[in-house]
Amino acid sequence: MASMASSSFFCNLKFHTKPNISSYSLSRIHLCQKKQKQEDNDIPTGQINRRALILRSSELATIGALFNLSGKKPDYLGVQKNPPALALCPATKNCVSTSENVTDLIHYAPPWNYSPESRKNPVSREEAIEELIEVIESTRPDKFTPKIVERKEDYLLVEYQSSILGLVDDVEFWFPPGKGSTVEYRSASRLGNFDFDMNRKRIKALREELEEKGWASQDSI
C-alpha cells in the first residue's frame, strides 16, 4: 500500500519552480487519468473507491505538510487601539467581522448579546465566556478542530485547523467594556481568496448553539 500511495502521489502531481524564488509553489495538479483507469480496471469497484479515498487523503495531507498550508498568524489579531475594535476584513471573500459596516454584505456579521432581556437567568461576563468555550469545544460544523490559543478576561482567540490540509482559520471573540453584554467577533481564513462561506457558516452554527443557552443576536446571518 505504501508503494502504491507513493507511486500515485508522484504520478498525480508535478511541481513547478520559478528561478530566484526561495520557496516552491504548487502551480498545477496533473491527473494521470489513462494510467489510473487501466489500473482500476483490474480491481473490484468497492476497492477502487476505498483505495482512491485513502490515496487522495494521503496526498492532500502530504501537500499540506510540504507547503505549510497553515499559513502565518496575522500580526494584527487582537483588539485594535484606535478605535478599540477587532480588525476589519481584507478584501478577500473569506472573512466575517462585526467591525465591518452593516452595508458590507460580504464581510459584516452582527454582534451577539449573552444576556438579552429575553434571557430568564442573566449571566456575568465570566460565566458567558465559559458558555462560549463550551460551545466552541463541542461544535464543529466544518470538521475543523478548534484550539484556544489565547484567553484574557474579555478576549478569546481560537485557531480552527482542518484535519487533512492543515488550513487554519483565526476566530476572535471580544467582550468590549462599556457595551453591556455585547460580544463582537471576527472569523477569517489565513490563506486563499474565498471560503465557500465556511467562516460565516461556522459563526452561524456557534450562534445557534449559544441561543440554546439564552444568547441572542442583533440579527440573523
Residue 163 · residue 143 · CB < 8 Å: yes
| Statement to judge: residues 208 and 145 lie in one domain | yes
Q: What is the pLDDT of residue 141?
A: 82
Cell numbers found for residue 219: 440579527
Residue 40 domain-assigned?
A: yes
Report yes or no on 79 lying in a domain: no
Paired with 189 in beta bridges are 169
> Does residue 2 contact residue 58 with C-beta atoms inside 8 Å?
no
Same-domain check for residues 45 and 140: no
pLDDT tens figures, 66-78: 455 778 899 999 9
Is residue 75 a part of any domain in this protein? Answer: no
The answer to whether residue 72 is domain-embedded is no
- Do 200 and 118 belong to one domain? yes
Does some domain include residue 62?
yes
- Is residue 141 located within the same domain as residue 58? no
pTM: 0.69
Statement to judge: residues 29 and 129 lie in one domain: no
Based on the fold, state whether residues 58 and 105 are members of the same structural domain.
no
CA 206-207-210 angle, to 5 degrees, is: 90
Q: Note whether 60 and 129 are same-domain residues.
A: no
110 and 202 both lie in a single domain: yes
* pLDDT value at residue 164: 81
Instruction: Please tell me whether residues 9 and 104 are part of one structural domain.
Output: no
d(CA 89, CA 159): 17
Measure the CA–CA gap between 59 and 4, rounded to whole angstroms: 12
- The CATH number of whichever domain residue 155 belongs to comes to 3.30.310.80
Asked, for residue 170, whether it belongs to a domain, the answer is: yes
**For residue 57, is it within any domain?**
yes
Closest CA to 132 of 95, 179, 185: 185
The pLDDT of residue 63 is 47
> Looking at the structure, do residues 58 and 143 belong to the same domain, yes or no?
no
Q: Looking at residue 140, what is its pLDDT?
A: 87
Rounded Cα gap, residues 72 and 59, in angstroms: 22
* Cβ atoms within 10 Å, residue 200: 19
Is the residue at 39 inside a domain?
yes
142, 101: one domain:
yes
What range defines the domain where residue 16 resides? Answer: 2-67
Could you tell me which residues are beta bridge partners of residue 159?
147, 170
Domain count, the chain: 2
160 pLDDT tier (thresholds 50, 70, 90): very high
CA angle (170, 136, 215) in 5-degree steps: 110
Same domain for 178 and 132, yes or no, is: yes
The answer on pLDDT for 191 being more than 60 is: yes
